[in-house]
Chains A and B, each alone.
Chain A
Amino acid sequence: MSFTKRAVLKLSCAALVAFSPLPALAQDWEPRRPIDFVIMAGPGGGADQIARFIQSVAERYDLTSRPLVPNNQGGGSGAEALLHLNNANDPDHTILVTLNSFFTTPLRQANLGIDIQTFTPVAMMGVDPFVLWVHRDSGITNFDQWLETVRGMNGDYVMGGTGSGQEDSIVIAFLSNAYDLDITYIPYDGGGAVARDLAGQQIMATVNNPAEAKGFYEAGDVVPLLAFSDERLPAFPDIPTIRELGHDFSYANQRAVVGAPGMSDEAAAYYQAVFTQVYESPEWQGYLESESLSPLWMSPEEQRAYWDTQVANHRDLLASLGQ
């Protein structure tokens, strides 16, 4: 009898194991509520366009079981968004689309107490180049003519860009230093507003990303003069790079997705899988090409190393430009 009893016990144990829910595997984590998809810039700029494009791809292929809800937090050159992630009370459902202010803002505002290495790497979607644009009505068609115009205006030449110490101001500061130019700089809260105010001739030139200026470029309203990329951009083959003009400089905006500090490994693995699928989708690959972005795929470990190099580079760059 005891044998039978034991057998029954064994059987029931086996059944219990077989029918009980399996312990959650790493891949089994799924969001339980809408995902706070924070964007480090105002509506309409490059980061915003990309965030919404990514969101649309994720929705189209039904990659997330809960929706990504875009949340623009452009204040304080991205500091608002960084703090939002730093203080996130639900790190597993909070992710951020970043640009280079991910590196520069914690450098410039040490008192915020943000250490980007505590953030969780998710995906590096590509890097976005910068191009110098003027309005068609200015009559300027090449960079030399532009230099001449700026010099002739004795400080009255007005350029617009994103907030102080952010990407646009770094590129413009480099240009001013390299060619000894006197430019009045007007900060805006996002690249979309900058592109619009160039089209409306409120400002005279910008260093928008190609995606931001695209609509106006296609309509013939704005003219590209110079690219800040390592090589000529396939979309603008006639536009020289600043490297060709003898300056050892190139600058691009990172388009990456990072998770909030304290995100669980399971959630991080989930988002890494989701954004790898987004990255590999024909839509995103098409976007990279049509909007002149360069692919720069990295593993999470490589992303952390990349953050370190970028922080070091930006520290030097900001110091040399006196920003």
Chain B
Amino acid sequence: METLGLLGDGMLIALQPINLLLIVIGVTVGLFIGAMPGLGSVNGVAILLPITFLVPPTGAIIFLAAIYYGAMYGGAISSITLGIPGASTAVATTFDGRPLAMQGRASLALVTAAIASFIGGTVANIIFTGFAPLLAGVALSFGPPEIFALMLLAFATFVGLGSDDIPKTIFSICFGLVLGAIGFDQISGAPRLVLFDITGFLQGIGFLVLAIGVYGLGEMIWTIEQTRGDVENTTPRMTAKGMAQDTAESLRRGWRGTTIGSLIGFFVGILPAAGATPASLMSYGVTKMISRRPQDFGRGSVDGVAAPEAANNSASTGSMLPMLTLGIPGSPTTAILLGGMVIWGLTPGPRLFVDQTEFVWGLIGSFYISNVAALIINLAFIPVFIWMLRMPFTILAPVIFVLSIIGGYAATRDMFDIWMILIFGIGAFVLRRMDYPLAPAVLAIVLGPIAEPTLRQSLLLSGGDPMIFLNRPIAAPITIIAISLILLPLVKVFRKKKPA
């Protein structure tokens, strides 16, 4: 009850005209930053940090959080309309969002993304409001073995029960793991897999570089090859009635993904080292696994759009939790927010909730308001984004190519990354011709660099004994579920043979 009172006060703070204005501006700016390939919420928040010194700290963090939220919504836009992931958090959205757009259902995909984002964000806010201090303890109880077990589970969801060819999925995962291992070894600091002594490899393969290559460029080549440039241009009409129908359809066909994404997203978001990108990929995997129509995934499943979008919004609220309660940022963007808080004279950490109630609840209240604002603004802009799709493919393809190159270059300003995008684009096209699923490789390059150090830290803790994953109360059940998921397809094969 006391919490509700505090939340009410917080919402009133967020609804003050100046704060409300900051929310609307922040969400709109964030939406466009998120939609631009190569510009993620990190850049947006860093570039706009100076503006926040003009307003009181509560207004400042509300503004930054609104940008962060807006960018999570915006990332989906270019993923769906152009097939280029707008931000790393929206890579999983391309898996099904792009096929839906190619089928002339871009409006459905965009509406689904907006609704799922809204629900994900709201569910996360409610969990956050009710259980923040308690969950801070949960985040702390996840040491290296628990995190590794969770990573294992994520890989298992992509292998087990999938409709794809299992050996090809495993090959794809291994390929991603090798790419993720390029660069410096986190534990010893030694360089490894520096192919041909090209210094660019020392920096490792950027995840966004792979994603833009595979999805932006690879997808474009694929479309050209499939259609010979003769892309059907369905002209979706965005009317109030059409939008209402899309909303109903997205809820009907995407509720599973939305629910799973909301819950997994929040939980993964609060964990150290994770953040919104792994959260969205893991939610996609789990949703596909429990779906009754897993064969639709990757071919335009509404659940496949809803899950990652609900997850990345939920995770962005989740990653605020370790930042506020422990002073540990869960993502690069929250790290910048943390820097801002320090200069405003606030010490994030276990004492913040006690000492700075107005600030904390003002911020939490603003999460709710930002979410509503983001949904409305996003829905209002959907017709504009749809209109872009009506351009002939002969114009759209060069635009996609140029945006892919700019997006890849913007992050590091290194020509090496552009060569990698071209190589990945062509490589992805070839692999796709041979029916290799590419999503597992993308998952592996994100999760590999988290899984590897936690595996090695765990084994150092146990003196080399792998039983550490089965001896600890939290790690054990996760590990057992993960291993069963990997073994399940084998059992299925065995069963199929018996009755015959």
| Chain A contacts to B: CB under 8 angstroms | 34, 36, 43-44, 48-49, 51-53, 55-57, 59-60, 62, 67-70, 72-73, 75-80, 83-84, 87, 89-90, 105, 108-109, 111-112, 158, 163-166, 184-189, 192-193, 195-197, 199-202, 214-216, 218-219, 221, 283
Instruction: Choose one: B183, B190, B335, B413; the contact of A44 (CB below 8 Å).
Output: B335
Pair A215/B460 contact, Cβ less than 8 Å: no
| B419 CB-CB contact with A under 8 Å | no
Pair A75/B460 contact, Cβ less than 8 Å: no
Instruction: Choose one: A78, A80, A105, A200; the contact of B140 (CB below 8 Å).
Output: A200
Pair A70/B339 contact, Cβ less than 8 Å: yes
Stretch at the interface among B284-292, B293-301, B322-330: B322-330
| B491 CB-CB contact with A under 8 Å | no
Pair A218/B349 contact, Cβ less than 8 Å: yes
Residues of B within 8 A of A56 (CB): 49, 339-340, 342-343
Pair A70/B186 contact, Cβ less than 8 Å: no
Pair B189/A164 contact, Cβ less than 8 Å: yes
Known interface pairs A75-B204, A109-B189, A163-B186. Does A215 touch B327 (Cβ–Cβ under 8 Å)?
Answer: yes
Q: Other CB < 8 Å A-B pairs besides A79-B184, A109-B191, A202-B143, 20 of them? A: A34-B46, A53-B339, A56-B49, A59-B50, A60-B50, A67-B49, A70-B336, A76-B191, A77-B189, A80-B183, A80-B204, A90-B413, A105-B189, A111-B191, A165-B189, A184-B461, A193-B272, A215-B347, A218-B349, A283-B343
Residues of B within 8 A of A43 (CB): 329, 331-332, 335
| B223 CB-CB contact with A under 8 Å | no
Q: A103: shortest Cβ distance to chain B, in Å?
A: 14
Pair B183/A60 contact, Cβ less than 8 Å: no
Instruction: Choose one: B141, B185, B187, B332; the contact of A200 (CB below 8 Å).
Output: B141
Distance, CA A218 to CA B16, complexed state (A): 33
Known interface pairs A48-B335, A200-B142. Does A76 touch B50 (Cβ–Cβ under 8 Å)?
Answer: no
Distance, CA A291 to CA B322, complexed state (A): 21
Distance, CA A76 to CA B186, complexed state (A): 6
* Most-contacted residue by chain B among A36, A83, A84, A214 (CB, 10 A): A83
Distance, CA A211 to CA B50, complexed state (A): 24
| B414 CB-CB contact with A under 8 Å | yes
Distance, CA A244 to CA B137, complexed state (A): 37
**Nearest B residue to A52 by beta-carbon distance?**
B339
Pair A79/B191 contact, Cβ less than 8 Å: yes
Q: B272: shortest Cβ distance to chain A, in Å?
A: 6
Residues of B within 8 A of A109 (CB): 189-191
Q: B367: shortest Cβ distance to chain A, in Å?
A: 21
Distance, CA A109 to CA B192, complexed state (A): 12
Pair B350/A215 contact, Cβ less than 8 Å: yes
Pair A218/B328 contact, Cβ less than 8 Å: no
Pair B461/A69 contact, Cβ less than 8 Å: no
Distance, CA A288 to CA B188, complexed state (A): 31
Instruction: Choose one: B186, B202, B351; the contact of A218 (CB below 8 Å).
Output: B351
Pair A75/B332 contact, Cβ less than 8 Å: no
Pair B349/A219 contact, Cβ less than 8 Å: yes
Known interface pairs A55-B49, A67-B49, A202-B143. Does A76 touch B335 (Cβ–Cβ under 8 Å)?
Answer: no
Residues of A within 8 A of B329 (CB): 43-44, 192
Q: B359: shortest Cβ distance to chain A, in Å?
A: 15
Pair B50/A62 contact, Cβ less than 8 Å: yes
Q: A12: shortest Cβ distance to chain B, in Å?
A: 44
Distance, CA A70 to CA B337, complexed state (A): 12
Distance, CA A53 to CA B343, complexed state (A): 6
Pair A72/B335 contact, Cβ less than 8 Å: yes
